[in-house]
């Protein structure tokens, strides 16, 4: 996807009614030490509707924001929300694995603090015709950037049974992946599967009654399709190392993940960056082997009970954070 600054657009929603940023105070607390200097650069790698970014711009009056998003609707809404900070804001239309190029295109050599708020956004879930929600009938799109790429309907029309099973197992961790793949193949032979309502009906019909009592049959399949459509894990696997690479000594990163596949990938990259590379048995650790990062929280932090009770988006969140302590070799 190309990188470009985002232009004007209408304010189309009452943002504060539909979007409550997850773990906002904790994100500010963790990133604040890297943002105290005048002109510090904060990268919101998953801008969404700008809730986190708005709070950071209010909290740090000299902060410069580079906001990234692949969703053009989100960029338009965020631009309206952040209009009063326009002289300190650069919004970039890009997938977040393009973070280094986006920061450079905004005129900066590095980022002092970076935030990733992963997964599907409030905008994408709450606007029915995007096709992300299995609870509402809509065209099966699921693209975070609706200007390019393959839709969920395309995948259901063209993938073979083995490939459908693979993505349901890998990205949805779905135990009934094979059953669902066969049901989809049979159903599409009768008519294309183009709407979420029909896909839900197919999945419910294919699900044994006992399994229906453990959760909605469509939940994991919809997650898997969304991840496949947007190549989310492949993008994230490139994005985290790229983000770590543009942090200076003292720079910090916070990642909010909402499902286990994302969190395991973030955990692995943070562990790799915070571990010594010295060979086993070396009596003295040489400077080139010292860890480049230190972890700021133990394991993955959950949202507190009160936030989970008032903000459904916080129910499954896992927060990880790190700080650069050594310059890149």
Evaluate whether 50 touches 77 at the Cβ level (below 8 Å).
yes
pLDDT > 50? residue 4:
no
Query: In this predicted structure, what is the pLDDT of residue 278?
Result: 57
Query: In this predicted structure, what is the pLDDT of residue 224?
Result: 96
Query: In this predicted structure, what is the pLDDT of residue 82?
Result: 97
Closest CA to 316 of 174, 176, 118: 118
What are the pLDDT digits (tens) for 97-149? Answer: 999 999 999 999 999 999 999 987 665 555 556 678 888 899 999 998 888 88
Cα separation values, 85 from 63, 76, 178, 257, 281, Å: 10, 15, 51, 28, 53
Binned at pLDDT 50, 70 and 90, residue 8 comes out as very low
What are the pLDDT digits (tens) for 224-278? Answer: 999 999 999 999 999 999 999 999 999 999 999 999 999 999 999 999 999 865 5
Query: In this predicted structure, what is the pLDDT of residue 288?
Result: 61
Evaluate whether 264 touches 176 at the Cβ level (below 8 Å).
no
Query: In this predicted structure, what is the pLDDT of residue 282?
Result: 61
Q: Rounded distance, CA 183 to CA 160, Å?
A: 12
Query: In this predicted structure, what is the pLDDT of residue 134?
Result: 83
Q: Phi, psi at residue 44, to the nearest 5°?
A: -95, 100
Element (H, E) at 67: strand 64-69
Evaluate whether 72 touches 127 at the Cβ level (below 8 Å).
no
Domain spanning 15-117+232-324 has what CATH number?
A: 3.40.50.150
Three-class SS of residue 139? Answer: strand
Query: In this predicted structure, what is the pLDDT of residue 133?
Result: 81
> Is the torsion defined by CA of 157, 160, 161, 165 positive or negative?
negative
Enter the tokens of residue 75: 């960029």
Enter the tokens of residue 196: 């979420």
Residue 312 gets which letter from DSSP? Answer: G
Query: In this predicted structure, what is the pLDDT of residue 11?
Result: 42
What are the pLDDT digits (tens) for 14-73? Answer: 555 556 899 999 999 999 999 999 999 999 999 999 999 999 999 999 999 999 999 998
pLDDT > 80? residue 212:
no
Q: Where is the binding site for S-adenosyl-L-methionine, in residues? A: 50-52, 69, 96, 117, 124
Query: Which stretches within the chain are classed as H helix?
Result: 15-18, 24-31, 51-59, 72-81, 99-105, 122-126, 152-158, 161-172, 177-188, 196-206, 209-212, 219-230, 232-245, 260-273, 305-310
Q: Phi, psi at residue 190, to the nearest 5°?
A: -90, -40
Binned at pLDDT 50, 70 and 90, residue 10 comes out as very low
Q: Where is the binding site, in residues? A: 50-52, 69, 96, 117, 124
Element (H, E) at 89: strand 89-93
Query: In this predicted structure, what is the pLDDT of residue 126?
Result: 56
Q: Rounded distance, CA 42 to CA 60, Å?
A: 10
Q: Which CATH architecture has domain 129-230?
A: Orthogonal Bundle (1.10)
Residue 99 gets which letter from DSSP? Answer: H
What are the pLDDT digits (tens) for 151-185? Answer: 999 999 999 999 999 999 999 999 999 999 999 99
Binned at pLDDT 50, 70 and 90, residue 186 comes out as very high
Largest CA distance in the chain: 69
What are the pLDDT digits (tens) for 275-314? Answer: 865 566 566 555 666 889 999 999 999 999 999 999 988 9
Per the document, the length of the chain is 329
CATH 3.40.50.150 maps onto the chain at 15-117+232-324
């Amino acid at each position: 996807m190309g990188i470009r600054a985002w232009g004007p657009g209408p304010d189309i929603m009452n943002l504060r009614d539909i979007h409550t940023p997850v773990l906002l105070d904790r994100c500010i607390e963790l990133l604040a030490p890297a943002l105290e200097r005048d002109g510090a650069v904060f990268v919101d790698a998953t801008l969404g509707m700008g809730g986190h970014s708005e709070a950071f711009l209010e909290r740090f009056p000299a902060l410069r924001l580079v906001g990234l998003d692949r969703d053009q609707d989100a960029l338009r809404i965020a631009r309206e929300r952040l209009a009063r900070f326009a002289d300190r804001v650069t919004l970039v239309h890009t997938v977040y694995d393009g973070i280094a190029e986006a920061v450079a295109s905004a005129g900066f050599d590095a980022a002092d603090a970076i935030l990733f708020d992963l997964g599907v956004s409030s905008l994408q879930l709450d606007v029915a015709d995007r096709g992300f929600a299995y609870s509402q009938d809509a065209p099966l799109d699921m693209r975070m950037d609706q200007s390019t790429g393959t839709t969920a309907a395309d995948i259901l029309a063209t993938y073979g049974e083995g490939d459908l099973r693979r993505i349901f197992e890998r990205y949805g961790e779905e135990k009934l992946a094979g059953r669902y793949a066969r049901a989809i193949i049979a159903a599409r032979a009768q008519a294309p599967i183009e709407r979420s309502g029909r896909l839900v009906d197919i999945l419910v019909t294919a699900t044994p009654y006992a399994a229906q009592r453990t959760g909605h049959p469509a939940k994991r399949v919809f997650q898997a399709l969304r991840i496949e459509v947007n190549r989310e894990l492949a993008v994230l696997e490139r994005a985290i190392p790229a983000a770590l690479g543009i942090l200076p000594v003292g720079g910090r990163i916070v990642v909010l993940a909402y499902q286990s596949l994302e969190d395991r990938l973030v955990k692995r990259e943070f562990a790799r960056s915070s571990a010594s590379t010295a060979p086993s048995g070396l009596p003295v650790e040489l400077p080139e082997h010292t860890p480049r990062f230190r972890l700021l929280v133990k394991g993955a932090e959950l949202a507190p009970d009160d936030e989970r009770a008032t903000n459904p988006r916080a129910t499954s969140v896992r927060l990880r954070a790190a700080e650069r302590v050594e310059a890149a070799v």
